[in-house]
A and B are shown apart, each in its own frame.
Chain A
Amino acid sequence: MLALNDVTYKRKKKVLIKDISGEIKQGDCISLFGPNGAGKSTLLKLIAGLETPSSGTCVNENQEKISIGYVPQQLALFDHMTVRDHLTYYEKMTKQINQRYVNEMIEVLGLKDVLNLNVESLSGGMARKLNLAIGLIHEPDLILLDEAFVGVDLATKHDMLTWLHQLNEQGATNVMISHDWHVIEHIAQSMWILDDGELIDRFPIAQVDQKQREYGYYTGRDLRKMFALRR
């Protein structure tokens, strides 16, 4: 679906992404993993087309244009607007909106009861859910999640993951950033390990036990610790 060829990204002469190549196939669910500041968010933006690589390419291998849903790491919401207004605003961004799909998503994410509330009066978790729902509102082919599960309670997280898993089964492609092993093991099919702007490893989730043993010895402190905490 999407091919990264030697993607390098610099900002203010600082190299944030070094020479990353890789392929994202349709139906994949990739988890970008790595310590803070590794460049995960930056890579996700490059994939989304929000930034252009300084060198290398990021090519859409499909015949048609793919629709992308991007959920930023921050709560990207408007002040003084209700949940319903947010949904309506983003629904207008796409030509055909599948109302049944939207209703089902609102139901699953538990947003139905708060439709008329202003975003200021939402709890942190509720705002997270709205943040996610907006990114998924147009049934995107490629779903890009930047730490979309921070602060979400376990029950809701489960519902969100179930929903994402369902979309994935129906053919959506998923690239997500998460520090949460629970999330990763629930839906990821493969992991990309990033450290200091470099893609140091790529493996299917089935190999995670073996990799945990490897990373227990040979990597930097942060990554070693992150794998150790998997239990």
Chain B
Amino acid sequence: MIVKSMLWRRSTLLTLLGLPLLILVVILPFVEKTTENTQVRIDVVDPYNQSYVEQMVNRLNDRESFSLNLNDQLELSQLARGEVEAIFVVEDQFQEKVEEGETENILTWYRHEHSLVDGLFKEYFASTLMEDIVRSEAANIVTDETEMATWNEAYQYGAQFFRPEPLFQMNFTTYESNTIEGEDSSNWPIALVWAYMILIIVYFSSWLYEWRNRGVFDRLAVFPHGKFRLHLTWIKNVLGTILIASLGFMGINEWLKIMALDFGQYGLLALVSVISLFIIWLISFFIRSRHVLIAVTTIYTVIGVALVLLVEWDMLSVQNWYQIWLPFWFVN
């Protein structure tokens, strides 16, 4: 019954559910970007719609690491926005130039100063082009010297040096890992989750103050263990909420792999949250004003999380007395 009294408030539901959802909505796009969409987008622009270019793009597109698009218009703003890593613009009469063995001025490479891996694609593009250029050039020479073979026969003959694979091969292995690699497992995200737990506890502490101010505890005091029972109900409800929040966080984190945590760290989070609960419950007996309690816990939490951040960013070295800040229990 008291559960209903405590939870049946719009602000409660908003705080307990809305906040994690909000955080999730903010975090989710980043997570998807990093775990799924690792392909680098490269654009090839052909203002003249040449079928040879289309073939070439299809040949190039079988590499998993690159996602290749063929456009007929150059849009450099995409580079600035980081939507594409690089843009290659081909000249008119591309095929003819390749077949004549022309290697200059057939391609323009646009990149952004932040582009990183487009060089790899350039090499790949160039080597594919070189294959055609070399074979064409060979066929040109052969047909110039003799009439025993046609240009096409000579051109096809050259393919054996490139197909099924080019002569020179490098071994290529993709390293796959299903946990997110932190540089070293970082602790500040879990400190933030702890701060969220504090928020929950402080939020629920308002009921203790309300019951006290309204005389609910007074009226219960005349019953055997009356006050104690209401305190117990409160503790149970907050414990339950913390537990559900922890499990929810664990579930979401294991599912989306936001941060790499082992069960020991989840356990530590739960333990530290429970300790926080009892500390806040105890000091609520001494701090008679709810606002003072909120101020004290907020200051404590903010300083604790800030210290953890500073230590994680190597701007501060851990000192022993930092252990009075509960989030430092996560730092080892």
Chain B residues with CB under 8 Å of A229's CB are none
Chain A residues with CB under 8 Å of B216's CB are 76-78
Interface pair B222/A48, CB less than 8 Å apart = yes
Q: Is A123 an interface residue (CB 8 A)?
A: no
Contact among B1, B214, B218, B223 with A94 in the assembled complex (CB-CB below 8 Å): B223
Q: Which of B204-259 contact A (CB under 8 A)?
A: 210, 213-216, 218-224, 226, 229
Interface pair B9/A79, CB less than 8 Å apart = yes
| Contacts A70-B219, A85-B1, A88-B1 supplied; 16 other A-B pairs, CB < 8 Å | A50-B221, A67-B222, A68-B222, A70-B222, A72-B218, A74-B213, A76-B214, A76-B215, A76-B216, A78-B216, A80-B4, A80-B5, A80-B8, A81-B4, A89-B2, A138-B223
Chain A residues with CB under 8 Å of B222's CB are 48-50, 67-70, 140
Q: Is A59 an interface residue (CB 8 A)?
A: no
Interface pair A76/B219, CB less than 8 Å apart = yes
User: What are 21 A-to-B residue pairs whose CB atoms are below 8 Å?
Assistant: A48-B222, A49-B222, A50-B221, A50-B222, A70-B218, A72-B215, A72-B219, A74-B214, A75-B214, A76-B215, A77-B214, A78-B2, A80-B4, A81-B2, A85-B1, A89-B2, A93-B220, A93-B223, A93-B229, A138-B223, A140-B222
Interface pair B226/A93, CB less than 8 Å apart = yes
How many chain B residues touch A (CB < 8 A): the figure is 20
Q: Is A30 an interface residue (CB 8 A)?
A: no
Chain A residues with CB under 8 Å of B2's CB are 78, 81, 89
Q: How many A-B residue pairs have CB under 8 A?
A: 65
Chain B residues with CB under 8 Å of A49's CB are 221-222
Contacts A49-B221, A138-B223 given; indicate if A73 touches B4 (C-beta within 8 A): no
Chain B residues with CB under 8 Å of A50's CB are 218, 221-222
Chain A residues with CB under 8 Å of B8's CB are 79-80
A68 CB to nearest B CB, Å? 4
B231 CB to nearest A CB, Å? 14
A79 CB to nearest B CB, Å? 5
In the bound assembly, the distance between CA atoms of A181 and B19 in angstroms comes to: 54
In the bound assembly, the distance between CA atoms of A135 and B229 in angstroms comes to: 17
In the bound assembly, the distance between CA atoms of A78 and B220 in angstroms comes to: 12
Q: Is A109 an interface residue (CB 8 A)?
A: no
Chain B residues with CB under 8 Å of A94's CB are 223
B interface, by DSSP: helix, strand, loop or mixed? helix
1/0 per residue, CB under 8 A from B, across A114-158: the answer is 000000000000000000001100101000000000000000000
Chain A residues with CB under 8 Å of B215's CB are 72-74, 76
A52 CB to nearest B CB, Å? 12
A117 CB to nearest B CB, Å? 14
In the bound assembly, the distance between CA atoms of A74 and B217 in angstroms comes to: 12
Chain A residues with CB under 8 Å of B1's CB are 78, 81, 85, 88-89
A16 CB to nearest B CB, Å? 16
1/0 per residue, CB under 8 A from A, across B1-43: the answer is 1101100110000000000000000000000000000000000
Q: Which of A36-76 contact B (CB under 8 A)?
A: 45, 48-50, 67-76
CB-nearest residue of chain A to B226: A93
Q: Which of B161-203 contact A (CB under 8 A)?
A: none
In the bound assembly, the distance between CA atoms of A71 and B8 in angstroms comes to: 26
Chain B residues with CB under 8 Å of A76's CB are 214-216, 218-219
Q: Which of B214, B215, B226 has the most CB of A within 10 A?
A: B215
Chain A residues with CB under 8 Å of B229's CB are 93
CB-nearest residue of chain B to A119: B5
Chain A residues with CB under 8 Å of B219's CB are 70-72, 76, 134-135
B296 CB to nearest A CB, Å? 21
CB-nearest residue of chain B to A67: B222
Q: Which of B2, B4, B218, B229 has the most CB of A within 10 A?
A: B218
In the bound assembly, the distance between CA atoms of A76 and B218 in angstroms comes to: 9
CB-nearest residue of chain B to A90: B223
In the bound assembly, the distance between CA atoms of A135 and B210 in angstroms comes to: 19
Interface pair A45/B218, CB less than 8 Å apart = yes
1/0 per residue, CB under 8 A from B, across A75-112: the answer is 11111110001001110011000000000000000000
CB-nearest residue of chain A to B233: A89
In the bound assembly, the distance between CA atoms of A83 and B220 in angstroms comes to: 17
In the bound assembly, the distance between CA atoms of A50 and B218 in angstroms comes to: 7
